[in-house]
Structure 1
């Protein structure tokens, strides 16, 4: 976007908080990326209080989008989901097939770069719920500006139930046998005008947040 200061000098690919990987740092103004991060921190705390994404992934992602809506994001577009029982194969390919239909190529590449960076940091990797357990649960949220100058995010929830516990790595570059794979996605959009109007209330809500969620730039 012409005249817009972006984070092209950032040394980080993404931010990990909870079980969420927020990508898209290099393409956004610093204050807009912070706004997106703050909104996601608020949504994560509230959604996790109401629904367990392990057992109710569909309700969790819808409630997450509802919280974002309460902070000014438009969530009118319908969700997309891929649910496959007795899945065996590449989760990377399954995610890419879904993502390529709803994300531009540069955002898909940004997510993959963020996951590669994450997988190299074993201490952070172990913080993701389910890496060494039966149920793997990761949310991937690419954020970017669209052609209309709005900021948009696609909340992507990847959950799979493993048939074995032998993986110490992310799913990205390996094939695994599992009993079920779920991938769900919801797109939300917000205009620059609404960002500016909502910025003070979002930051005020974050200051009052009862649970402080650790954030890890990667």
Structure 2
């Protein structure tokens, strides 16, 4: 009866009342033990800590202002200036040179931009003429995490990082683009030429997304 840890046993023939009394006592003892274990477990049960609520990052909203003027000949000119912050993604492929020391692979850049868009609407004789001018400044350039992971796995991260950051007397492509500097005026980094060209291609692709 002890090994089974249960009070469900057969009574002994000829000692029914005694056996039943023993069984009842054992059953009561087992129930008491179980209740004690539950009580003990409840005391030591750790109270779960509430998880902190993380507020979602709010994207900066564009701000705009509008001015209106009418010339002496009755021409109406409305100018709307919109200031904005935007992140665009540029994609490109890094191709090997004639030595073909590596296989081509994709790269992606995250380009953060602060810009201003001017929309001028001129109304004369009932006809509207709309002109738009977009000026911007590149604040930061970075590789996407996927690009870092892929380049590291394929053994290309050393060259991508060298092209982006530069070394010694060679200025990195990222730094040159932040000056700002026209893409055609950016010098590639020695021993990381293919990576430099790929970064420039991805940057141009990002700017194209911005101007769409």
TM-score (norm 2): 0.24
TM-score (norm 1): 0.23
More strand by share: 2
Q: Structure with the greater relative contact order (CA < 8 A, sep ≥ 6): 1 or 2?
A: 1
Quick check: which has more Rg, 1 or 2?
A: 2
